[in-house]
């Protein structure tokens, strides 16, 4: 299938990309409730090359969001990847990993087994081999199994018994953490730092919740969801992020705001330099989502809390990380 919105564009401008991304957002919001700005953040995280944590309670639509995003993108021309040993692996457009305490790394990335017919070892792929992966309740996984995501998230590859397998493009992980109930294995700081952003889906207002009940109590609630872009569109937008300009004064603004987390008395462990790198790239991606070819101070400021809150450790009596970070970014001024 050809992309319905970008076919024929040789050199897509930021404004054109913004309009096309708006079509993608409109398509997703046909079938799920989510505030537009939150969906902008999620798509910006994807085209910035990152992954997302959704920290929420049960039943607010986390799985539906991942399904709607995957269902809006046609990846039929990107259905296989080739491993280092010339093995061709078929790729799923969407997979869901329901995390439990007894899940093992091989249950996620795959394993090799002996084929009794010809005596050869063959690779059985895991659910990580998909364009969009929903990792539901990641904090129920043991640290060893959580660690199986490290290489996938950083390098877009997995290594099984000495053989390296490249994951598909586009590749995007949405991990969920429920805020209620038992959390056996909280993600360690290095694992959290791999995620581009942590946000909540939010609770809908009365009218929106009524619409959700009316739409999703029907068996045909998803009938209007169809692909509106190709996987190549996402890959091209990801490449375009590098062309979004960010003034040196704004880089200075980012660095000073990150360093301020290491000097705040309420923060036990501040953000690392990597946090500044991620905030810079995410800001460029959000500018592209909104059709701009440059980053503004307001974009950095609005992304600061969701991009940094999961990268710091606050003292027990300090309060909520988001409140501390809001105070920091308000106090750091852009140099003129």
The encoded tokens of residue 85 equal 């040993």
**Token pair in block for residue 324:** 């501390």
Which pLDDT score, from 0 to 100, does residue 5 have?
A: 47
Distance, CA of 104 to CA of 145 (rounded, Å): 6
**Residue 212: strand, helix, or coil:** helix
Identify the pLDDT of residue 9: 41
For the chain, give every domain's residue range. Answer: 35-212, 244-331
Q: What is the pLDDT of residue 243?
A: 94
Strands 229-230 and 73-74: parallel
CA 300 vs. chain centroid, Å, equals 18
Question: Alpha carbon 186 to chain centroid distance?
Answer: 19
What was the pLDDT predicted at 4? 44
The token pair that represents 242 in the structure block:
């590098």
Provide the 3-class DSSP secondary structure of residue 307: helix
Nearest Cα residue to 281 out of 55, 80, 52, 45:
45
Q: What CA–CA distances, in Å, run from 146 to 137, 198, 217, 226, 318?
A: 11, 17, 35, 33, 28
Q: Which two tokens stand for residue 60?
A: 């607010």
Instruction: Note the pLDDT of residue 56.
Output: 79
Mean pLDDT by 10 residues, the chain (336 residues): 44 91 93 91 96 84 86 77 67 90 92 81 89 91 88 88 86 84 74 91 84 79 86 93 96 97 94 96 98 97 96 87 95 88
Which helix or strand (DSSP H or E) is residue 103 part of? none
Whole-angstrom Cα distance, residue 95 to residue 127?
A: 6
Instruction: Give residue 289's pLDDT.
Output: 97
**Record: fold of 244-331:** Helicase, Ruva Protein; domain 3 (1.10.8)
What pLDDT is attached to residue 233?
93
Positions of E strands within the chain: 52-56, 73-74, 80-82, 88-90, 92-98, 110-114, 121-125, 130-136, 157-160, 163-166, 172-178, 197-199, 229-230, 267-269, 313-314
CATH number at 35-212: 3.40.50.300
Q: Among residues 66, 69, 128, 137, which one has the least CA distance to residue 99?
A: 137
Q: Which residue has the tokens 């068996």?
A: 219
Domains 35-212 and 244-331 share a fold: no
Going by their DSSP bridges, the two strands 92-98 and 197-199 should be labelled as unpaired
Contacts of 213 (CB under 8 A, 6+ apart): none
Find the helix or strand (DSSP H, E) in which 199 lies: strand 197-199
d(CA 79, CA 90): 6
Confidence at residue 2, expressed as pLDDT on a 0 to 100 scale? 43
């Amino acid at each position: 299938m050809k992309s319905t919105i970008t076919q024929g564009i040789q050199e897509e401008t930021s404004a054109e990309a913004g309009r096309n991304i708006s079509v993608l957002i409109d398509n997703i919001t046909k079938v799920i409730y989510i505030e537009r700005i939150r969906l902008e953040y999620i798509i910006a995280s994807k085209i910035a090359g990152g992954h997302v944590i959704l920290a929420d309670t049960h039943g607010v639509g986390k799985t539906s969001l991942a399904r709607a995003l995957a269902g809006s993108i046609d990846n039929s021309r990107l259905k296989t990847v080739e491993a280092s040993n010339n093995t061709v692996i078929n790729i799923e457009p969407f997979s869901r990993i329901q995390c439990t305490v007894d899940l093992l790394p091989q249950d996620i990335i795959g394993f090799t087994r002996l084929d009794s017919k010809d005596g050869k070892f063959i690779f059985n792929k895991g659910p990580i081999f998909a364009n969009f992966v929903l990792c539901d309740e990641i904090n129920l996984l043991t640290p060893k199994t959580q660690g199986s995501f490290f290489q996938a998230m950083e390098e877009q590859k997995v290594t099984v018994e000495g053989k390296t397998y490249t994951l598909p493009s586009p590749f995007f992980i949405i991990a969920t953490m429920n805020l209620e109930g038992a959390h056996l294995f909280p993600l360690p700081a290095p694992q959290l730092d791999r995620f581009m952003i942590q946000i909540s889906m939010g609770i809908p207002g009365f009218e929106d919740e009524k619409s959700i009940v009316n739409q999703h109590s029907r068996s045909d609630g998803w009938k209007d969801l169809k692909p509106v872009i190709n996987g190549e569109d996402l890959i091209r937008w990801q490449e375009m992020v590098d062309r979004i300009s960010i003034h040196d004064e704004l880089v200075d603004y980012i660095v000073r705001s990150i360093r301020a987390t290491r000097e705040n008395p309420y923060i036990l462990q501040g953000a690392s330099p990597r946090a500044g790198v991620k905030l810079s790239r995410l800001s460029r991606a959000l500018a592209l989502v909104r059709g701009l070819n440059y980053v503004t101070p307001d974009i950095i400021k609005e992304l600061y809390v969701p991009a940094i809150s999961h990268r710091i450790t606050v003292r027990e009596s300090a309060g909520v990380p988001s409140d501390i970070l809001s105070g920091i970014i308000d106090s750091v001024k852009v140099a003129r």
